[in-house]
Amino acid sequence: MNIGLSKTYLQDDLSKLGKTNLDDVLRFLNGKEFANKTSWDMIRGLGGAKAQLAKNAAGNATIGAKVARFAGGNTARNILRAVPGLSAALVGLDIADVVAGPDRLANKGMDAVAMGIGGTLGAVGGPLGIAAGAGLGKMLSDGTQLVFGGGKSAEERKLEEALKLLQQRGLV
């Protein structure tokens, strides 16, 4: 199974990386191309343009036709246009959490590595895939830290120790 990570594919992406300019970034964040492509992909997945005209035995539009019409409509496209900007904003918040958050250096390192791995794996899906992969990597890292106890801030650990001490002395 080839997921697109060939040498040629990576060389093409790396050659584009140096040529990316502010217009490219703004075009991505605008989301118009993403919305149009995704809208048509959904319509094709539902059976193509003919799916929008499908009727049931009673002559009413089928559910698939209604969904296909919605996918091709302005409401769906406007919602889809927000996806690239929201994904970039969420990754920005994740980066801010890693840089300025109250976590220990080891936790920040784990978060950064997980975001890097997730972003690399998501590169198959272009800029949106990178953002989604980095966000999922951070989420997985935070979840792992929460489950194994490493995700607590210094203040939380101090409060837990103080509470245990008070409980041992019978004050709480």
Residues 171 and 105 in one domain: yes
In this structure, of 10-19, 20-29, 59-68, 84-93, the range with the lowest mean pLDDT score is 10-19
Q: Report the number of distinct structural domains present in the chain.
A: 2
Residues 105 and 75 in one domain: no
Q: Which domain holds residue 151?
A: 101-172
Which two structure tokens, joined as six digits, stand for 91?
């990754």
**Rounded to an integer, what distance in angstroms lies between the CA atom of residue 161 and that of residue 167?**
10
Residues 50 and 115 in one domain: no
For residue range 26-80, what is the model confidence (pLDDT) as tens digits?
Answer: 888 899 999 999 999 998 988 887 877 788 777 778 888 888 889 889 999 999 9
From the number of C-beta atoms within 10 Å of its C-beta (0-12, 13-18, 19+), residue 57 rates as exposed
For residue range 126-163, what is the model confidence (pLDDT) as tens digits?
Answer: 888 999 999 999 999 989 988 887 656 677 778 889 99
Does the CA dihedral 7-9-10-12 come out positive or negative?
positive
Residues 23 and 54 in one domain: yes
Quick check: pTM over 0.95?
Answer: no
Residue pointed to by tokens 């975001």: 115
Q: Which band of pLDDT confidence, cut at 50, 70 and 90, is reported for residue 16?
A: low
Reported residue count of the chain is 172
